[in-house]
C-alpha cells in the first residue's frame, strides 16, 4: 500500500496488472520477482504515451494520479498547483485557493513522516495554523511533471551551487524512486530485482542512480575508477572548480568496513579522496540503528546516513553534527530538489527547496474568471457577527485579484472612500473570512457564493 501511496484504488489497479501478467505465467512470483517486474514496467518518463494495459496506463486512470472535472485537461492546470509541483509544499495559499485545489485532489496537508509502519488511514488537520500543503502523492507529482513538460513545456531551475556534500545529495534524493535505483536481472523463472539480503539494492545501485541525477541537476558528476588515486563512488565538479567526493558503504557491512571507508579520505596516496574540497561518507541501510552508526564515525568529514522506506518513496536522512550528535529528517521522492544548511539554533539545520519554477506555456487557466462578480455589503451591528446590508449587486470588468475587485466595488457603488480602505470577505464553512488583496477572484458567480465587503464607519454605503 505504501508503494501505491496509500490509495486502495491504486492498489486495485496494480493487482489487476499483476493478475494480467500472471495469467500467462506458471512460475511463482516471490518478492524479488514482483520487484523486478514492477521495475521493468515502471516508466515515469512516458506517462502520457504508455499503453492502456500497461502498469502506468492502468494507474493513471485513477483520480489519485490524474484528476478529473475542470482540470482534466493539462491546459487548464492552475499556476498555483504548478508552483507547488515545481517548488514543493507551501503554507502560503489563500484559503479559497487551498479549498479549490484540495477538493479536486491536487493537494493535501503534509504529514510529518516517521520510520514506523504507516497506518492505512492517516489523520489530517486541515485547520492547523502553519500547515503546509503539497502535491497529494508522489505518483501524481511524477505524472504532472511529465505531462506538463510534454504538453506545455514546463521547465524548472535547480540551484547548481551546493555548499556541502549533504546539500548536494539532497538535490538528487527526491528523484530516486525504487525503479530508478534497483537493478533487474533475467533468468529462466522471469525478471527479478538484484537486491541484498536486507532486501535493499546494493550500494553501487544507489550511487549510480545518484550520479545520473546529479549530472542532470547540477552538472559534471561521475564515479572515479583509479585504483591508485582512489575509486570514489560519487565525484562532482562545479563550474567554479569546487569538488565533492562521496564514498558509500552499506551499514550491514559492519563497523570495521565503515571505518576503512572513512579512512580513505586521509590516505595521502588516494588523492581523489584527500584533495576533494568537500568530503562525505554515505552509509546506506535501514533505519534501525542508523543514528548510532552515524554518530560513532570519526569526525573530520561529513557523515550521512541514508535509510529508504521499503517502497523507496522517501528517505530518512541522518547527518552527523558534532561528536555523536546526529540530526535527522525525511526527504520525499516528489521530484523537488532540496537544499541543506546548518543553523545556530534548534533544530540546528534547515531544509529548503533548491528548485524553482521557470517556464510553462500559457494554458486556458480554467476555471475562467467570471465576467461579472456578485458582491454584497457587510455590517456588524453587534460588533461580532457580519450581516448582509441591502441587496447583492454585480461588479464587471477584468478582475485579476481582490485588489481589482475593491476598485470595481468603489466605482459601481460610487463610494467616496479610497478602495484600499475596504476589506473583502468570502464565505468559508458558514462564516466570513477575509481575503488577501493578491488573491485570485475565483468565486461570485452567483448571489449565494458572493463576496462580501466592509467599509469604514461613516462612509457612504452601497445598500
pLDDT tens digits, 158-167: 999 999 999 9
Average pLDDT of the chain, as a whole number? 89
Quickly state the pLDDT bin for 458 (edges 50, 70, 90): low
Give the Cα separation of 427 and 415 in Å (integer): 23
Higher pLDDT, 459 or 170: 170
**pTM of this prediction?**
0.76
Classify residue 350 as exposed, middle or buried by CB count within 10 Å of its CB (0-12, 13-18, 19+): exposed
Per-residue pLDDT band at 29 (split at 50, 70, 90): confident
* Of the listed ranges 171-185, 192-206, 418-432, the one predicted with least confidence: 192-206
Query: Confidence class of residue 365 from pLDDT cuts 50, 70 and 90?
Result: low
Is pLDDT at 368 greater than 60 in this prediction?
no
CB 284 within 8 A of CB 247: no
pLDDT-based confidence at 115, cuts 50/70/90? low
* CA end-to-end distance (rounded Å), the chain: 56
> What domains can you pick out in the chain, each with its CATH number?
8-157 (no CATH), 165-336 (3.40.1350), 372-454 (3.10.20.90)
pLDDT of residue 125 exceeding 80: no
For residue 101, give the nearest of 77, 122, 128 by alpha carbon.
77
Q: What is the DSSP code string of 119-179?
A: PSS----SS-TT--EEES-HHHHHHHHHHHHHHH--EEEE----SSHHHHHHHHGGG--HH
Backbone angles phi, psi at 263, to 5 degrees: -70, -20
DSSP 399-454: --SHHHHHHHHHHHHT-SS-GGG-EEEEEETTEEEEPPTTS-----SSGGG-EEEE
Does the pLDDT of residue 21 top 80, yes or no? yes
Using DSSP bridges, classify how beta strands 302-308 and 278-284 pair: parallel, antiparallel or unpaired: parallel
Percent share of the chain, pLDDT over 70: 94
Residue 154 has pLDDT above 90, yes or no: yes
pLDDT at 463 over 70: no
* pLDDT higher than 90, residue 217: yes
Rounded to 5 degrees, φ, ψ at 135 are -60, 140
- Identify any residues that bridge with 317 across adjacent strands, giving them in sequence order: 306, 329
Write down the residue that cell numbers 549510480 correspond to: 208
Average pLDDT, integer, range 301-314 = 94
* 198 against 298, higher pLDDT: 298
User: If pLDDT is split at 50, 70 and 90, which confidence band does 459 have?
Assistant: low
**Per-residue pLDDT, 3:** 73
Higher per-residue confidence, 404 vs 26: 404
64-105: per-residue pLDDT in tens? 999 987 788 899 899 999 999 999 999 888 777 888 888 889
Higher pLDDT, 121 or 403: 403
Q: Answer whether residue 390 shows pLDDT above 70.
A: yes
The pLDDT tens digits of the residues spanning 174-194 come to: 999 988 998 777 766 667 777
- 308-344: per-residue pLDDT in tens? 998 899 999 999 998 889 999 999 999 999 999 999 9
Average pLDDT over residues 124-145: 89
Is the per-residue pLDDT at 108 higher than 80?
A: yes
> What are the strands of the beta sheet with 302-308, ordered from one edge?
221-222, 234-237, 243-250, 278-284, 302-308, 314-322, 325-332
Distance between CA 304 and CA 262 in Å, rounded? Answer: 12
| Cα–Cα nearest to 356, from 89, 166, 158, 111 | 158
User: What pLDDT is stored for residue 366 in this prediction?
Assistant: 45
Q: Is the pLDDT of residue 429 over 80?
A: no
Share of the chain above pLDDT 90, in %: 59
- Per-residue confidence band for 244, with pLDDT thresholds at 50, 70 and 90: very high
- Residue range 147-154: average pLDDT? 95
- Chain-centroid distance of CA 94 in Å reads 19
For residues 443-458, average pLDDT: 86
Amino acid at each position: 500500500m505504501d508503494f501505491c501511496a496509500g490509495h486502495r484504488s491504486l492498489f486495485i489497479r496494480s493487482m489487476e496488472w499483476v493478475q494480467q501478467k500472471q495469467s500467462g505465467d506458471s512460475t511463482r512470483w516471490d518478492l524479488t520477482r514482483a520487484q523486478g517486474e514492477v521495475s521493468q514496467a515502471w516508466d515515469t518518463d512516458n506517462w502520457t504515451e504508455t499503453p492502456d494495459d500497461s502498469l502506468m496506463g492502468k494507474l493513471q486512470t485513477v483520480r489519485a494520479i490524474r484528476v478529473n472535472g475542470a482540470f482534466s485537461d493539462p491546459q487548464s492546470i492552475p499556476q498555483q498547483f504548478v508552483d507547488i509541483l515545481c517548488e514543493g509544499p507551501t503554507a502560503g495559499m489563500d484559503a479559497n485557493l487551498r479549498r479549490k485545489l484540495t477538493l479536486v485532489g491536487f493537494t493535501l496537508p503534509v504529514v510529518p513522516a516517521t520510520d514506523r509502519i504507516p497506518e492505512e488511514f492517516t489523520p489530517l488537520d486541515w485547520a492547523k495554523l502553519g500547515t503546509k500543503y503539497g502535491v497529494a502523492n508522489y505518483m501524481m507529482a511524477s505524472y504532472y511533471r511529465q505531462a506538463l513538460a510534454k504538453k506545455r513545456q514546463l521547465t524548472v531551475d535547480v540551484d547548481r551551487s551546493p555548499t556541502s556534500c549533504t546539500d548536494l545529495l539532497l538535490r538528487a534524493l527526491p528523484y530516486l524512486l525504487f525503479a530508478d535505483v534497483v537493478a533487474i536481472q533475467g533468468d529462466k523463472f522471469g525478471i527479478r530485482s538484484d537486491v541484498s539480503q536486507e532486501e535493499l539494492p546494493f550500494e553501487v545501485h544507489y550511487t549510480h542512480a545518484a550520479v545520473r541525477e546529479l549530472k542532470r541537476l547540477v552538472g559534471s558528476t561521475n564515479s572515479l575508477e583509479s585504483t591508485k588515486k582512489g575509486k570514489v563512488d560519487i565525484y562532482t565538479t562545479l563550474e567554479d572548480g569546487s569538488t565533492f567526493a562521496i564514498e558509500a558503504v552499506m551499514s550491514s557491512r559492519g563497523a570495521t568496513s565503515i571505518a576503512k571507508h572513512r579512512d580513505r579520505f586521509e590516505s595521502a596516496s588516494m588523492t581523489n579522496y584527500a584533495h576533494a574540497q568537500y568530503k562525505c561518507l554515505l552509509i546506506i541501510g535501514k533505519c534501525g540503528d542508523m543514528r548510532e552508526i552515524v554518530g560513532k564515525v570519526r569526525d573530520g568529514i561529513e557523515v550521512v546516513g541514508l535509510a529508504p522506506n521499503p517502497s523507496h518513496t522517501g528517505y530518512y536522512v541522518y547527518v552527523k553534527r558534532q561528536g555523536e550528535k546526529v540530526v535527522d529528517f525525511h526527504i520525499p521522492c516528489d521530484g523537488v530538489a532540496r537544499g541543506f544548511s546548518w543553523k545556530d539554533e534548534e533544530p540546528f539545520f534547515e531544509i529548503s527547496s533548491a528548485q524553482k519554477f521557470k517556464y510553462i506555456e500559457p494554458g486556458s487557466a480554467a476555471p475562467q474568471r467570471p465576467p461579472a462578480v456578485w458582491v454584497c455589503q457587510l455590517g456588524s451591528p453587534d460588533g461580532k457577527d457580519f450581516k448582509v446590508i441591502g441587496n447583492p449587486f454585480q461588479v464587471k470588468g477584468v478582475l485579476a485579484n481582490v485588489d481589482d475587485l475593491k476598485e470595481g466595488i468603489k466605482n459601481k457603488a460610487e463610494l467616496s472612500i479610497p478602495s484600499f480602505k475596504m476589506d473583502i470577505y468570502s464565505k468559508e464553512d458558514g462564516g466570513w473570512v477575509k481575503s488577501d488583496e493578491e488573491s485570485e477572484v475565483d468565486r461570485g458567480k452567483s448571489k449565494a457564493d458572493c463576496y462580501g465587503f466592509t467599509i469604514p464607519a461613516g462612509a457612504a454605503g452601497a445598500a
